[in-house]
């Protein structure tokens, strides 16, 4: 039987906001996120709240954290899911015997 290999995760994801908003003289309608690296994660523990996940999102994008504070809640949650998808290792819980 052939081994099934997991599909590689993307190195970048661009999210088109469902609710674009103005930031200064700019309209923010999409955000591109690079895949997080260890330097983005080392200040967080093994469990993170949504605010910490958004902090990782900000550090992996070209926008400062205050921009995310002005984002519509629907987009804010979607951004958290994008980061979660980057971090999801697909490992199960429990122990192997």
pLDDT in tens, 55-73: 899 999 989 999 999 999 9
Q: Is residue 40 part of a domain?
A: yes
Residue 23 neighbours by CB distance under 10 Å: 14
**Please, which pLDDT band fits residue 1 given cuts at 50, 70 and 90?**
low
Q: Say if 97 falls within a structural domain.
A: no
**Domain span at 63:** 12-87
Q: Is residue 94 part of a domain?
A: no
Its pTM stands at 0.75
Query: Could you tell me which residue, 28 or 48, shows the higher pLDDT?
Result: 28
Structural domain contains residue 56:
yes
C-alpha span between 51 and 92 (Å, rounded): 25
User: Is the Cβ–Cβ distance between 55 and 80 less than 8 Å?
Assistant: no
Identify the CA nearest to 36 among candidates 60, 55, 58. 60
Domain count, the chain: 1
Distance CA 29, CA 86 (A): 21
Distance CA 32, CA 86 (A): 13
**Residue 32, in any domain of the structure:** yes
Q: Which residue has the higher pLDDT, 4 or 40?
A: 40
Residue 66 in domain: yes
């Amino acid at each position: 039987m052939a081994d099934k290999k997991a599909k590689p995760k993307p190195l970048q994801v661009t999210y088109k906001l469902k609710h674009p908003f103005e930031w200064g003289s700019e309209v923010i309608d999409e955000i591109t996120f690079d895949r997080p690296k260890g330097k983005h994660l080392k200040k967080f523990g093994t469990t993170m709240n949504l605010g910490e996940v958004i902090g990782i999102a900000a550090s992996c994008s070209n926008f400062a954290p205050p921009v995310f504070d002005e984002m519509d809640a629907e987009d804010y949650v979607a951004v958290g899911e994008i980061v979660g998808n980057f971090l999801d290792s697909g490992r199960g819980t429990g122990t192997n015997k």
